[in-house]
């Protein structure tokens, strides 16, 4: 055909050279694959398109074979991985749509806009499917507090998340914040959005019908974010700041308008298919709509609304300008849809048609700039079985071999004011967490609880992972991330339903990093299978390293659980004096990989605590029943910092203290109070209820022991110096604001 | 009570406000589009809710203050109609000249979302009759620019005429700079117009109207309005 010839000699496009191929992040053998696939040398624009579709971020080429092993099914799963977000059924004709995604590289280069557009992108993924966003969570990892860039990044990222979510109008209800030197050159920003939709009105990317109008909606296209997805697929070096122009700029106002306009045209039944323009913008969204529908797509770039003049086809196809959508509309509803978009002041343009050819054709200025097989663009991306070495197992540390560096009360005071355990109020007070009027449990607890419509149903939401466990033993660490998220939901009274996983790792071309990825995915899969907690969406972020130094393996798990009646839930605060404190689960005094060992003994060796999944399930189910029967007056899971830190958190949340029995003789006191054995909870109950609970626990095979009684204003362990709860709270609240204000003498 | 909630592009607490109005008055408000030129027939309360009208990319509320519907709101005010502006709504009312003063960036230069304590300064207005004078209520704030200020003469008038209805205080009701979250002059959280029919306030009483959400201290404001309007009707 005529235009096949034109393809190779287009105006103003540079010739394809090996250097140009390398600049596009494509390996020589990947380029050969392209030439073989299309039977000729690609044009410059086509090369850009392949680079966008075949990079790690969009193609999952290193992780795909392993991700396939994850369990994704359950009777309540409506849509698993592969769409914009996962969808689960929560009954009453309602569905929850959710996903977590990283925006790590942009956030390190330009923290405010990087984080803001991360939030914007994940919100769009959720409302693209027809859901109104009802909550956001954010898991953040930063470098060591004394690293010169850390404070600047925390400031910018937190302000960016708030700046976008607050303006868009979604409550940010939870998340994580950690500091570790391994994130010095590469912070992590993992944003999760949760939306609510009608279960029979979910919208997908798959186009149907030939000759249907393809409509461009939202903001105009500019030169921002070109090659953002490629940046997310490469390591950083000292010159990374030069990549600042590849970071997009967020406009939450436009996104809010886009949300309202999209939901309005969806309600009016105008939409056949919809896809947001995220990574690799127009390219990725158009190809996905066509490929999923077994159709071709033809675009005319002369009709694309542009923010600036003179943009080339290459720039338009790779722009990652934010707040844009692509849709296939029912032709008879086009005018109605256009009127709705105009009402909201948004751009609306028909920029192409679906065709029967299964080819992706792009015209610009009268020339055919792109003519590629649409299915192969996505499906034929290389898939790698990358070589990996398993992380060597580390020996378990015997508690008795660790000398206590200080008395137990001193250790508690130190830990509670440490960067990882201190209050994160400074962060979440910059996020509007009560807007929409459904936040039953606010940030600061184990999981946020958000009412569904007018109730009584509610969602329990959490994001969790313990990277130091993953580093020491990826398989156990992967299991633990899932188990911890499951526990967080359980302990507020929720039934855990499904997860989204956000896998952050270093360079997968290094076998030891690949070993971490493979191990963590295996662990996640194992835990999800046993806990019936399927993975319904996710995101992989690789190449998180700077100058060859990788981050800690950080597979963040975002999870959703359901409460049938939010009045039957629990919070962690002690409720009154003279209540019995029960410890549920086995305590061995496991100090390996504990915060106690790391922060107070300066040791990061040893195996992390193992997760016994069957036990996990038994213990958690027992706790959930105590909550549902309104027997538990308070409940908290035991995680970072161990038993005494968990008790302190319950005390500080209420101001009520506790009298505690001494550590049992067979375990060293510091290991008993600060060990991080898994599958454990604390609950308080009326003293009179204890015997009946112990009897039920014995039948259920759940270890339960009474360790103390709530009372007074101090945490008082027998034979140890009592610690004033108020003084603990002061330390707990002081570190982060002090650090951010630069007033700490020793960060 | 027949209320109208004005919706500007970028407003995002209109649903919270509509829910509170329905809960307490028993009637759904009419959501009124910014481009309309008239208020719904029979409106007796206009509410401008919170959010980020037009992204707040210019001065907060500056663009919304010039929207077509605001002419209708001005005439409504001139006829003595009751207007409640919360958060961005307060900013819009100031920009529209319906209330004096301005709302500057928070003194600590950060967005702040937390519960605050307000002292109700008098109970003989439609906006406070649901409370006792001196009562302390707990309501959330969520704003980056709520730091109220005005020139000395305006302030003297506001104070002298008893037009400061709500003030940021410590939980025990005393004035305390540590509890004045945004650094507002005289700890001002909410003021009324000269005629007393327009209230602007930064905190969100509409988010504290249900026990399920942990606090019902915001109910009094709406319950008082219902009572005032029913009495007038």
DSSP of B85-131: EETHHHHHHHHTTSS-SEEEPPTTSS-EEEEEEEEE--SSSTTTTTS
pLDDT at res. B185: 98
Q: Which of B51, B207, B212 has the CB atom closest to A434's CB atom?
A: B207
User: What rounded mean pLDDT belongs to chain A?
Assistant: 94
CA A561, CA A449: separation in Å to the nearest integer?
9
Question: Which ipTM did the prediction report?
Answer: 0.96
pLDDT, tens only, A415-466: 999 999 999 999 999 999 999 999 999 999 999 999 999 999 999 999 999 9
Question: Average pLDDT in the A372-393 region?
Answer: 92
Residue A8 binned pLDDT confidence (cut-offs 50, 70, 90): very low
Residues of A in contact with B213 (CB under 8 A): 434, 437-440
User: How many residue pairs bridge chain A and chain B with CB atoms within 8 Å of each other?
Assistant: 83
- The residue behind tokens 């939450």 is A252
pLDDT at res. A746: 63
Assess contact for B120 and A437: CB atoms under 8 A. no
Interchain pair B111, A166: CB under 8 A: yes
pLDDT, tens only, B32-51: 999 999 999 999 999 999 99
Considering the candidates B60, B87, B94, B208, report the single residue annotated as catalytic.
Answer: B87
Query: Which residue out of B142, B178, B179 would a mutagenesis test of the A interface target, given it has the greatest number of A Cβ atoms within 10 Å?
Result: B142
Q: Give me the count of residues in chain B.
A: 233
Q: Does B9 touch chain A (CB under 8 A)?
A: yes
Interchain pair A430, B110: CB under 8 A: yes
Q: Does B129 touch chain A (CB under 8 A)?
A: no
Assess contact for B9 and B54: CB atoms under 8 A. yes
- The residue behind tokens 């984080």 is A115
* Vertex A104: Cα angle to A640 and A176 (nearest 5): 25
pLDDT at res. A91: 97
Q: In chain A, whose CA is at the least distance from the CA of B204?
A: A435
Q: Which of B54, B112, B212 has the CB atom closest to A429's CB atom?
A: B112
Least confident of A617-621, B77-81, B211-215: B211-215
Residues of B in contact with A451 (CB under 8 A): 212
Question: Average pLDDT in the A496-520 region?
Answer: 98
Active site residue B204: yes
Q: Is A607 exposed, middle or buried (0-12, 13-18, 19+ CB in 10 A)?
A: middle
Residue B69 binned pLDDT confidence (cut-offs 50, 70, 90): very high
Residue A2 binned pLDDT confidence (cut-offs 50, 70, 90): very low
CA A486, CA A277: separation in Å to the nearest integer?
32
pLDDT at res. A249: 86
pLDDT, tens only, A592-616: 999 999 999 999 999 999 999 999 9
CA A134, CA A194: separation in Å to the nearest integer?
6
b/e map B42-53, b = 16+ CB within 10 Å: ebbbbbbbbbbb
Pair of tokens at residue B198? 């327009």
pLDDT, tens only, B82-125: 999 999 999 999 999 999 999 999 999 999 999 999 999 999 99
Q: Is the pLDDT of residue A245 over 90?
A: no
Interchain pair A166, B112: CB under 8 A: no
Residues of A in contact with B207 (CB under 8 A): 434-435, 437
Q: Does A429 touch chain B (CB under 8 A)?
A: yes
Q: Does A168 touch chain B (CB under 8 A)?
A: yes
Q: Is the pLDDT of residue A1 over 50?
A: no
pLDDT, tens only, A133-156: 999 999 999 999 999 999 999 999
pLDDT, tens only, A509-536: 999 999 999 999 999 999 999 999 999 9
Residues of B in contact with A252 (CB under 8 A): 52, 55
pLDDT, tens only, A678-733: 999 999 999 999 999 999 999 999 999 999 999 999 999 999 999 999 999 999 99
Taking the CA of residue B13 and the nearest CA in chain A, the distance in Å comes to 7
Q: What is the dihedral of CA A50, A54, A55, A56, to 10 degrees?
A: 170
A662: DSSP letter: P
Annotated catalytic sites of A, by residue? 57, 103
Residues of A in contact with B109 (CB under 8 A): none
pLDDT, tens only, A618-657: 999 999 999 999 999 999 999 999 999 999 999 999 999 9
Residues of B in contact with A253 (CB under 8 A): 9-10, 52, 54-57
pLDDT, tens only, A557-578: 999 999 999 999 999 999 999 9
Q: Does B28 touch chain A (CB under 8 A)?
A: no
Q: Does B112 touch chain A (CB under 8 A)?
A: yes
Q: Does B222 touch chain A (CB under 8 A)?
A: no
Interchain pair A434, B213: CB under 8 A: yes
Q: In chain A, whose CA is at the least distance from the CA of B106?
A: A430
How many separate helices (H) and strands (E) can be counted in chain B? Answer: 5, 11
Q: Compute how many other C-beta atoms are within 10 angstroms of the C-beta atom of residue A435.
A: 26
CA A337, CA A334: separation in Å to the nearest integer?
5
pLDDT at res. A7: 44
Above pLDDT 70, what percent of chain A?
Answer: 95
Residue A243 binned pLDDT confidence (cut-offs 50, 70, 90): low
Q: Which of A167, A434, A435 has the CB atom closest to B55's CB atom?
A: A167
Taking the CA of residue A288 and the nearest CA in chain B, the distance in Å comes to 31
Considering the candidates B14, B95, B121, B206, report the single residue annotated as catalytic.
Answer: B206
Residues of B in contact with A432 (CB under 8 A): 111, 113, 142
Q: Which residues pair with A297 in a beta bridge?
A: A354, A360
Q: Does B58 touch chain A (CB under 8 A)?
A: no
pLDDT at res. A478: 98
Q: Compute how many other C-beta atoms are within 10 angstroms of the C-beta atom of residue A379.
A: 11
Taking the CA of residue A231 and the nearest CA in chain B, the distance in Å comes to 29
Residues of B in contact with A166 (CB under 8 A): 52, 111, 113, 142, 144
Interchain pair A256, B206: CB under 8 A: no
pLDDT at res. A232: 60
Active site residue B87: yes
pLDDT at res. A11: 59
């Amino acid at each position: 055909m005529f235009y096949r010839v034109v393809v190779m000699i287009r105006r103003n496009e540079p010739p394809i050279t090996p250097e140009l191929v390398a600049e596009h992040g494509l390996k020589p053998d990947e380029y050969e694959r392209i030439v073989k696939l299309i039977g000729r040398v690609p044009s410059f624009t086509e090369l850009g398109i392949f680079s966008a579709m075949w990079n790690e971020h969009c193609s999952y080429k290193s992780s795909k074979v392993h991700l396939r092993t994850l369990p994704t099914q359950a009777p309540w799963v409506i849509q698993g991985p592969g769409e914009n977000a996962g969808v689960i059924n929560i009954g009453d004709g309602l569905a929850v749509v959710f996903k977590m995604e990283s925006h790590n590289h942009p956030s390190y280069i330009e923290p405010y806009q990087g984080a803001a557009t991360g939030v914007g992108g994940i919100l769009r993924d959720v409302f693209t499917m027809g859901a109104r966003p009802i909550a956001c969570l954010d898991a953040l990892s930063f470098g060591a507090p004394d690293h010169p860039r850390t404070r600047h990044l925390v400031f910018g990222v937190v302000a960016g998340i708030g700046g976008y979510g607050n303006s868009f109008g979604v409550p940010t209800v939870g998340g994580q914040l950690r500091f570790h030197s391994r994130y010095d050159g590469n912070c992590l920003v993992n944003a999760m959005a949760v939306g609510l939709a009608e279960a029979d009105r979910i919208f997908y990317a798959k186009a149907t019908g030939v000759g249907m109008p393809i409509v461009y909606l939202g903001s105009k296209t500019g030169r921002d974010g070109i090659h953002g997805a490629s940046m997310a697929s490469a390591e950083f070096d000292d010159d990374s700041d030069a990549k600042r122009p590849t970071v997009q700029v967020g406009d939450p106002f436009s996104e809010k308008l886009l949300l309202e306009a999209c939901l309005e045209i969806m309600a009016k039944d105008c939409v056949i298919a919809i896809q947001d323009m995220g990574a690799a913008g127009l390219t990725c969204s158009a190809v996905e709509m066509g490929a999923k529908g077994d159709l071709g797509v033809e675009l005319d770039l002369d009709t694309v609304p542009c923010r600036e003049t003179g943009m080339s086809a290459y720039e338009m196809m790779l722009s990652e300008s934010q707040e844009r959508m692509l849709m296939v509309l029912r032709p008879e509803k086009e005018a109605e849809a256009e009127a709705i978009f105009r009402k909201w002041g948004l751009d609306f343009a028909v920029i192409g048609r679906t065709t029967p050819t299964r080819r992706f054709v792009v015209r610009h200025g009268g020339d055919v700039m792109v003519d590629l097989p649409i299915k192969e663009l996505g499906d034929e991306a290389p898939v790698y079985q990358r070589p990996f070495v398993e992380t060597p197992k580390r020996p378990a540390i015997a508690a008795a071999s660790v000398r206590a560096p200080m008395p137990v009360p001193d250790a508690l005071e130190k830990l509670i004011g440490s960067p990882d355990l201190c209050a994160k109020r400074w962060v979440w007070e910059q996020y509007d967490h009560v807007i929409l009027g459904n936040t039953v449990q606010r940030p600061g607890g184990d999981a946020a609880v958000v009412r569904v419509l007018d109730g009584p149903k509610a969602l329990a939401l959490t994001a969790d992972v313990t990277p130091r466990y993953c580093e020491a033993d990826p398989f156990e660490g992967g299991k633990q991330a899932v188990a911890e998220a499951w526990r967080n939901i359980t302990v507020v009274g929720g039934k855990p339903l499904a997860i989204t996983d956000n896998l952050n790792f270093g360079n997968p071309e290094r076998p030891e990093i690949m070993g971490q990825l493979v191990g963590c995915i295996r662990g996640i899969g194992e835990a999800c299978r046993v806990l019936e907690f399927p993975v319904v969406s996710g995101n992989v972020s690789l190449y998180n390293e700077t100058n060859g130094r990788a981050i800690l393996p950080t597979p963040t798990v975002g999870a959703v659980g359901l409460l049938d009646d939010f009045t039957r839930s629990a919070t962690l605060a002690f409720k009154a004096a003279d209540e019995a404190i029960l410890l549920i689960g086995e305590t061995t005094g496991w100090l390996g990989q504990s915060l106690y060992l790391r922060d107070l003994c300066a040791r990061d060796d040893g195996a992390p605590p193992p997760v016994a999944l069957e036990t996990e399930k038994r213990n958690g189910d027992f706790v959930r029943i105590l909550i549902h029967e309104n027997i538990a007056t308070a409940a908290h899971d035991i995680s970072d910092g161990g038993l005494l830190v968990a008790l302190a958190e319950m005390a500080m949340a209420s101001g009520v203290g506790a009298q505690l029995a001494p550590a049992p003789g067979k375990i060293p006191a510091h290991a008993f109070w600060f060990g991080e054995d898994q599958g454990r909870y604390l609950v308080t109950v009326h003293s009179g209820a204890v015997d009946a609970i112990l009897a039920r626990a014995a039948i259920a095979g759940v270890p339960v022991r009474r360790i103390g009684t709530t009372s007074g204003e101090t945490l008082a362990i027998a034979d140890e110096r009592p610690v004033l709860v108020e003084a603990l709270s002061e330390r707990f609240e002081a570190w982060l604001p002090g650090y951010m204000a630069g007033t700490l003498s020793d960060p | 009570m027949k209320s109208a909630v004005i919706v500007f592009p970028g407003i995002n607490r209109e649903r919270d406000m509509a829910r509170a109005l329905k809960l307490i008055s028993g009637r759904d408000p009419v959501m009124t589009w910014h481009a309309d030129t008239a208020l719904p027939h029979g409106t007796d309360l206009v509410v401008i809710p919170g959010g980020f009208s037009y992204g707040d990319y210019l001065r907060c509320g500056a663009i919304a203050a010039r929207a077509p519907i605001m002419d209708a709101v001005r005439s409504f005010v001139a006829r003595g109609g009751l207007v409640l502006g919360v958060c961005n709504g307060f900013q819009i009312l100031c920009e529209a000249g319906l209330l004096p003063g301005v709302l500057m960036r928070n003194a600590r230069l950060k967005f702040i979302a937390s519960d605050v304590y307000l002292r109700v300064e008098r109970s003989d207005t439609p906006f406070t009759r649901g409370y006792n004078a001196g009562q302390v209520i707990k309501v959330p704030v969520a704003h980056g620019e709520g730091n109220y200020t005005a020139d000395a003469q305006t302030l003297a008038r506001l104070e002298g005429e008893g037009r400061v209805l709500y003030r940021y205080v410590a939980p025990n009701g005393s004035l305390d700079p540590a509890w004045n979250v945004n650094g507002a002059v005289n700890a001002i959280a909410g003021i009324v117009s000269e005629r007393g029919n327009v209230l602007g306030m930064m905190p969100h009483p509409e988010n504290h109207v249900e026990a399920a959400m942990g606090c019902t201290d915001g109910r009094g404001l709406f319950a008082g309005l219902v009572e005032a309007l029913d009495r007038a009707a």
